[in-house]
Amino acid sequence: MLEIRNLTKRFGEVEAVKDVSISVPDGAFLVLLGPSGCGKTTLLRILAGLELPTQGQVVFDGQTVSDGDKSWAVDPAKRNSGLVFQSYALWPHMSVRGNVDWPLKVMKMPRAQRAERVKEVLTLLDIAPLADRYPNEISGGQQQRVAIARTIAPKPSVLLFDEPLSNLDAKLRVEMRTELMRLHRATGATTVYVTHDQIEAMTMASHVAVMNQGGVQQFGTPADLIGHPQTAFVATFVGTPPNNMIPVVKNGTGYRVGGRHMSLTPPADECFAMYRAESMTLSEAEGDTTLPMEMVETSAIAGRTMVTGLRDGLRLTAIVDRPPVERIGDTIQFRLPPEPDGWFGCDGGRIG
């Protein structure tokens, strides 16, 4: 349904999007995940037709809608797509009903048909009782539902979301994630969703593209990203908590692991050993496979305890069954398992 081919976008000397290629099937829920400034919103704006790519193509359902090589693009209004902005962008002088009716009126849909469709989507989003209110008379969560209702009213085949939950409080974000997933199932539209929140990505997506510095670091299912990260960036960005990455450096006949001599057999003289937080344990005493760290944080997570330590810029996290007896600021011993969960080179790529 959606295909992105070698897409690049430059602003002067800056490459905001670098040679991105992604293909997802009809009805997929694609999340563009990455930190601020990674290019995900620029890529979404290209999909929406608000930006022209410098190179590459965007294809919706077999039809090319943007071609950077030819400096040509289909008008945003003719792409059969809908965009929900981060700010909602509702018309303040129109009622909820008027906001949802507006795109249908632009399509020149007959009045009776418009009224029926507006009623249908307001009911679907559970905001029918708000039909005669104005945006300043409803809450932020309700405004978001109105923005979504307005977007889906014309029945677009592609739905685009630009961090729509970032303005909501934590509890409402969780509720709206559920609502968006229900809406996705109800409409069947191919969805592209931009966020920096990897919890949103892992819970909502059928496909995830992890972006950094304009490029896609890894593309796959949430299970692929968590189970088989292909770069050090993905390994430390995806997951709750993220994986631990410990430097390993050859020193004489042995290796220094996180600054201490240990008997490991790494695949290179200089690399990084990845340990999942659930693979790490705490030790009451210092040993051959422990790293002393200053305990800086503890928190409960799913009936267990997440413990974080810090030393010389190295940050480690372990998931343990019982909270440690030590207090914040005390030294604790992180015990490493016999073998790491993965190896990564100095260039960030996975080894083996």
Concatenate the DSSP letters of all residues of 167-204 into one string: TS-HHHHHHHHHHHHHHHHHH--EEEEEES-HHHHHHH
Do 84 and 226 have their domain in common?
Answer: yes
Is 237 among the domain residues? no
Cα separation, 159 vs 187, in Å, equals: 10
Question: Which amino acid belongs to residue 161?
Answer: F
Does 29 share its domain with 135? yes
Asked if 146 and 132 touch (Cβ cutoff 8 Å), the reply is no
Q: Which long-range contacts (CB under 8 A, 24 or more apart) does 98-105 make?
A: 99/135, 99/146, 99/149, 99/150, 100/146, 100/149, 100/150, 100/153, 101/153, 102/150, 103/150, 103/153, 103/154, 104/153, 104/154
C-beta of residue 59 within 8 angstroms of C-beta of residue 38? no
Kind plus residue range of the DSSP H or E element containing 317: strand 314-320
CB atoms < 10 A from the CB of 260, how many? 14
Question: Taking the CB of residue 51, how many other CB atoms lie within 10 A of it?
Answer: 20
Compute the chain's Rg from CA coordinates.
Answer: 24
Report how far residue 72's alpha carbon sits from residue 75's, in angstroms, rounded to the nearest whole number. 10
Considering the domain architecture, whether residues 261 and 120 belong to the same structural domain is answered as no
* Structural domain contains residue 236: no
- The answer on 172 and 134 residing in a single domain is yes
CATH number for the domain spanning 269: value is 2.40.50.100
316 is in which domain, residue-wise? 244-351
Distance of CA 47 to CAs 30, 186, 198, 326, Å? 13, 22, 22, 51
User: Within a domain: residue 66?
Assistant: yes
- In single-letter form, the type of residue at position 34 comes to G
Q: Which two tokens stand for residue 232?
A: 């050090």
| Per-residue DSSP letter, 242 | P
Last residue of a domain, one of 200, 230, 260: 230
| 315 is a domain residue | yes
Cβ proximity of 278 and 319 under 8 Å: yes
- Verify that 220 and 249 share a domain, yes or no: no
pLDDT at position 124: 87
Can you give the pLDDT at residue 84? 87
The per-residue pLDDT for 50 is 94
**CA–CA gap between residue 350 and residue 316 (Å, rounded):** 20
What does the pLDDT profile of the chain (352 residues) look like in tens digits? 899 999 999 999 999 999 999 999 999 999 999 999 999 999 999 999 999 999 999 999 899 999 999 999 999 988 888 888 878 789 999 999 999 999 999 989 999 999 999 999 999 888 999 999 999 999 888 898 899 899 989 988 999 999 888 877 888 888 888 888 988 998 888 999 999 998 899 999 999 999 999 999 999 999 999 999 999 999 999 988 889 999 999 987 788 898 888 888 899 999 999 999 999 999 989 988 999 999 999 999 889 999 999 999 999 999 999 999 999 999 999 999 989 999 999 999 999 7
255 and 221 belong to one structural domain: no
Find the helix packing angle between 140-152 and 170-187, rounded to 10°: 20
Transcribe 201-213 into DSSP letters. Answer: HHHH-SEEEEEET
224 and 249, same domain (yes or no):
no
Residue 262: the pLDDT is 87
Shared domain for 223 and 316, answered yes or no, is no
Domains contained in the chain, number: 2
Residues 31 and 178 in one domain: yes
Residue 43 covered by a domain: yes
Residue with tokens 């469709």: 117
Instruction: Dig out the tokens for 267 from the structure.
Output: 């695949």
- Return the structure tokens found at 291: 């790293």
Q: Which two tokens stand for residue 173?
A: 């974000």
Residues in the chain: 352
The residues, ordered by sequence, that sit 6+ positions from 319 with a Cβ below 8 Å of its Cβ are 241, 277, 278, 280, 301, 304, 305, 306, 307
| Residue 11 falls inside a structural domain | yes
Q: Residues 340, 289: contact at Cβ < 8 Å?
A: no
And the tokens for 33?
A: 């995940």
Cβ density class 56-88: b for 16+ within 10 Å, e for less: bbbbbeeeebbbbeeeebbeeeebbbbbbebeb
pLDDT of residue 191: 94
**Residues 205 and 91 grouped into a single domain:** yes
pTM, 2 dp: 0.88
Could you tell me if residue 57 is inside a domain? yes
State residue 164's pLDDT score: 85
Q: Looking at 198, 230, 262, which one is the last position of a domain?
A: 230
- The answer as to whether 239 is a domain residue is no
* Same domain (yes/no): 267, 194: no
Looking at 230, 259, 289, the residue that finishes a domain is 230
> Are 57 and 188 in a shared domain?
yes
**CATH number of the domain where residue 175 is located:** 3.40.50.300
Q: What is the pLDDT of residue 77?
A: 85
